[in-house]
Amino acid sequence: PHCRLGHCQQPIGLLLKLSTPIDFDAVDGRPVDLVFVLLVPQENPEQHLKTLSHLASLFNDDDYRAELRLSKNDHHLYHTAVESEAELRLAS
User: Any idea which residues carry the catalytic annotation?
Assistant: 2
Is residue 23 left, alpha or beta, with left meaning phi > 0 and alpha meaning psi from -120 to 50?
beta
Residue 2 contacts residue 52 (beta carbons within 8 Å)? yes
CB atoms within 10 A of CB 9: 7
